Homo-oligomer: A and B are copies of this chain.
Amino acid sequence: MENAADSKGLTTIPEPTLRRLPIYYQYLRNLESAGKKVISCTTIGNDLSLDPTQVRKDLAHTGVEGKPKVGYMVSDLVRKIEEFLGWNKINAAFLAGAGNLGSALLGYPQFREHGLSIVAAFDRDPAKVGSLIHGKRVLPLETLPGLARRMGIRLGIITVPPAAAQEVADFMVQGGIQAIWNFAPVMLKVPSSIVVRNEELYYSLAALSHTLAKKLNVEIKKGEEGYASSN
């Protein structure tokens, strides 16, 4: 029974599945607030333009069970996905770098609903230290390791400029932080036991701009054809 093993983290879950789960989750939350009680993979697949079997396999990874002819309880699905992604327990996090992006993240309401609570921000700029951003206190960067250790913080978010990122990462590791969400465009060097997730907004832009460029190219070609011939 692979599902049970999966939901306990004993097997590895496909990356693509992991990327789709939050999409299902959002969709299901919308259903829930619309008052829908049960849902089938067929319907989910139609609404999200995904293959129903794929949806079923994805959801099975969370250990949820459905009924033939009926589908799944929406509330079951929501709960199982939350558990699976660790969104049912709040992770306290430290954020380093109280610039534009850092401030936006500090004020991002969705995080709280998805198991992430940024409890403090850190910066080197004396003008920022001591101030409040979206209700979170900005503290001196040097105090990060000690505080992280005392408060048992497991998650760090890096939104400092690239040049400072490695040093901040070192601070975080020193403070016993286990997972780093890195928004700086550099590859961090950390012990292999630390989970690093690199996030660059422009990474996501790649797919979009590639598709758009291709699309515009095709249009230009069509235009030229239409101009040259008389069709």
Contact = CB atoms under 8 A, between A and B. Distances in A.
Copies of this chain: 2
Contacts of A178: 212, 215-216
Interface string A105-116: 101101100111
Contact of A114 (B86, B134, B205, B207): B205
A84 B209 CA distance: 9
A108 B18 CA distance: 28
Interface string A71-107: 0000000000000111101010000000011011101
A227 interface: no
Contact of A201 (B19, B105, B115): B105
A181 B212 CA distance: 11
Given A47-B187, A111-B205, A178-B215, 5 more contacts: A86-B213, A100-B103, A155-B212, A181-B205, A199-B201
Interface of A: 8-9, 13, 15, 18-19, 21-23, 26-27, 30, 47-48, 84-87, 89, 91, 100-101, 103-105, 107-108, 110-111, 114-116, 134, 154-155, 178-179, 181, 185-187, 195, 197-218
